[in-house]
Amino acid sequence: MEVKEKIRVLRIINRFNIGGPTYNAVFLSRYLSDDFETLLVGGLPEDGESDSLHIAAEYNVEPLLIHEMKREPSFSSDHQAYKRIQQIIKEFQPHIVHTHAAKAGALGRRAAQKMKVPIIVHTFHGHVFHSYFGKLKTAVFKQIERSLAKKSTGIVAISAIQKQELSGIHRICSPDKISVINLGFDLEKFHENREEKRKLTREKFSILDDEVAVAIIGRLAPVKNHSMFLDVVEHVSKRTSKKVRFFIVGDGTERTAIEQRISSMQLSETIRVEMTSWIKDISSFNPGMDVICLTSLNEGTPVSLIEAQASGVAVVSTDVGGVRDILLEGETGFVTPLNAVEMFTDKVVVLVEDEKKREKMSQNGWKFVEAKFSYKTLVANMESYYRELLNSTKKK
């Protein structure tokens, strides 16, 4: 009896740091059908980033680490990483190379084309076309991505909004080359035992029964716009008599600046702000919150908002990236324009003051994300996409 050859997929991510790309890559590496064999590779996290290798270990995925893959552009380290990827391709002989995010996409797609890999796929988890760099540098990055798109058999966008941005606004490639495949997550762990987790988290952080807990979760980096979040804290302080505890979860380059800002803020006696650094077990932390915020200047599909809704927590976010694709306005949370501090404050105050509103959004949130963002849906959609690309290549 002839043994059918497995379809080999080499999956490359920038770095094993906390965020959507790690989860996406791990679930796709772990749960594709037995017709596929996947090798996951990527770099190590940088200083100030939380290591996400425990996520791979949790799902019994053993990644191959490319120590040469660094966040900052460098001719030396980038060339070394490029040569390392070429060597991995030579040894693994993949039918598909699938890169995730910018650095992996740049090095991986070039190496895959050089090594004549049949199918080259890239997923945009976010993009650096605004709010990261100046106009000149942004223009250079766009031109690089247009060139890389020509080397790609297919491009994956993680939301319909992102597809429109990539094709219509930034003109990276034609829309018919882009497929929309939502991110997928293991959301059950956020939903199960919520009451028990809520009690334990609130006890751990000494959150009072009549205290409303509001969190922002993510890297302490300029693009996450924590300065706006602190503006909102100050405005909320003037507009409610409720006890409110604000949590800043994460770490990064802006930590010192945020600490200095907090120490200089004049808040009412009922308002407190606490920095927690990274929390690995976020599925236990989230249920202890009442509201989770995002104030970013730029995003792809913000994982923290999906996890918040899965945990039954109402969300408030700036209107960036694919945010409108991952929440139901007025039903699971609120979306406000970028840097609209007053409007953002209005929404936070509504949720702080109205417990019934929070409870309703809590119920709606789980139903919405469970149907749309399960890892099982992600895996089924990606497997179908791979087969479609392989079949179309065979016909040529």
pLDDT along the chain (396 residues), means of 10: 81 84 92 97 80 90 92 87 98 98 94 97 77 73 93 93 90 96 90 96 97 96 96 97 97 96 96 94 96 92 91 96 90 96 98 97 93 90 97 78
Token pair 């019934």 is at which residue? 356
Please check whether the domain covering 7-184+374-395 is classified as CATH 3.40.50.2000.
Answer: yes
Where are the CATH 3.40.50.2000 domain residues in the chain?
7-184+374-395, 188-372
Q: Which residues contact 95 (CB under 8 A, 6 or more apart)?
A: 7, 8, 9, 117, 118, 119, 390
Q: Which residues contact 365 (CB under 8 A, 6 or more apart)?
A: 308, 309, 310, 311, 312, 313, 314, 315, 327, 332, 333
Nearest CA to 121 out of 396, 382, 394 is that of 382
The reported pLDDT for the residue numbered 74 is: 84
Q: Whole-angstrom Cα distance, residue 370 to residue 364?
A: 10
The reported pLDDT for the residue numbered 132 is: 53
**Contact status, residue 214 vs residue 242, Cβ threshold 8 Å:** no
**Contact status, residue 30 vs residue 60, Cβ threshold 8 Å:** yes
Nearest CA to 25 out of 73, 66, 51, 62 is that of 62
**Contact status, residue 309 vs residue 365, Cβ threshold 8 Å:** yes
Q: Which residues contact 369 (CB under 8 A, 6 or more apart)?
A: 187, 306, 309, 310, 326
Nearest CA to 321 out of 163, 96, 155 is that of 163
Q: Whole-angstrom Cα distance, residue 36 to residue 23?
A: 18
Would you tell me how many other CB atoms lie within 10 Å of the CB of residue 189?
17
The reported pLDDT for the residue numbered 396 is: 62
- Which run of H or E residues covers position 335? strand 333-336
Class of domain 188-372: alpha beta
